Amino acid sequence: MKKLLRFGIAGGIGFLVDAGVLSLLLETTPLGPFLARLVAIAMAMATTWIFNRKFTFARSGHSLAVEGFRYGSVGVTAALVNYGLYSALLLSFPDLQPVTAMVVATAASVLLSFFGYSRFVFRNE
């Protein structure tokens, strides 16, 4: 249960980074909601890896490179689900705010992330 709580905290921090970077880029750059979200996802993924590695799951028995690759693999898979849903929502509902689409898409990819990280990345063999 502690891992799930800490994962929720990591996710909350990642969500704040994602939403903050997305909002900042939309307000200060010409990137638009699709490119800005790619940058925001990458920043959030890096942030959650650091938090999850130190506080949620602890280090795996793998080298930093292997752990990073595995984390990136799960993260990219979850990000593709997240980004696909985000894009589909924005294209289907043009008046929808990008941050609202981000909230829905993020919620949909949380379980995939948790099980991937806990079973594939940080599981000690």
| Res. 38 pLDDT band, cuts 50 70 90 | very high
- Mean pLDDT in the chain? 88
Residue 125 — very low, low, confident or very high, per pLDDT cuts 50/70/90? low
- Dump pLDDT digits (tens) for 98-121: 989 989 998 888 888 888 888 888
Say whether pLDDT at 64 is over 90: no
Size of the chain in residues = 125
Helices (H), the chain: 2-28, 32-51, 64-92, 98-116
Q: Tally the C-alpha atoms within 13 A of residue 21's C-alpha that lie toward its C-beta.
A: 20
Whole-number pLDDT of residue 92: 97
Per-residue pLDDT, averaged over 49-71, amounts to: 81
Max mean pLDDT range (1-15, 48-62, 76-90): 76-90
